Amino acid sequence: MMTRFLKKLIGLRVRDDGVMAFPDMRRIALQDIQKSYARLFATEDGQAVLAHLQRTVFMRACGADCNDAQIRYAEGQRALLFQIMRHIEGGRKPSA
């Protein structure tokens, strides 16, 4: 059941030779993706998940003993969360 859900969620398909193939992301318009982000995170569950991500990612502080790898990891998480938030905002804007 989970595999079927994941296939639908990320658009996987199985080729004739049995290999899973990802969709060609170049064919999916940015505006469509952003609208999907906005719809997903507009739900009650989506809002709870986004709030949790913001608390766990933005409210974390590295101490003086933080090494370079830990800082880079935290910055990567922040960058990904900012990207998600930008897509949500882009999806909320009316279509031109």
Q: Any idea what the Cα angle at residue 73 is, between residues 70 and 74, rounded to 5°? A: 85
pLDDT of residue 89: 96
4-60 tens-digit pLDDT: 655 555 566 677 787 767 666 666 788 888 999 999 999 999 999 999 999 999 988
Question: Residue 88 is part of which domain span?
Answer: 26-92
* Predicted pLDDT of residue 60: 84
Nearest to 12 by CA among 27, 28, 20: 20
Q: Which of 62, 79, 80 is nearest to 71 (CA)?
A: 62
- Measured CA to CA, the distance from residue 76 to residue 51 in angstroms comes to 18
What is the pTM for the complete model shown? 0.68
- pLDDT at residue number 1: 47
Determine the Cα–Cα distance for residues 10 and 89; give it in Å rounded to an integer: 21
Q: Is residue 46 part of a domain?
A: yes
Domain count, the chain: 1
11 lies in some domain: no
